[in-house]
Amino acid sequence: MDWLMDVPCKVEFVLGGSTVTVRDCLDFEANKVVRLTVSAGSDLHMRVEGVAIATGEVVIVEDQTALRVTRILPPPGLDAA
């Protein structure tokens, strides 16, 4: 099963979301501001293959953007303890 440890997984870091109309989408242009459904300073959500597994905060490490994990989420379908 060691080979399984080297299988690549898609990891996404989600800041937030919004709902916009098709009309608004067609009006997008450079410098357009789209309001998100989260407050400034909120943690990002880390998803692996579309499944939320953790939350964290943005940090800078050696001139690169990174995520500091602040909370591991329970597996889907299980209540947090």
Q: Indicate whether 17 pLDDT > 60.
A: yes
Query: What percentage of the chain exceeds 90 in pLDDT?
Result: 70
Structure confidence at residue 61 (pLDDT): 93
* Whole-number Å distance between alpha carbons of 58 and 66: 6
pLDDT, tens digit, for every residue of 23-57?
999 999 999 998 888 888 889 999 999 999 999 99
Domain boundaries, the chain: 2-72
Output the CATH code of domain 2-72: 2.30.330.10
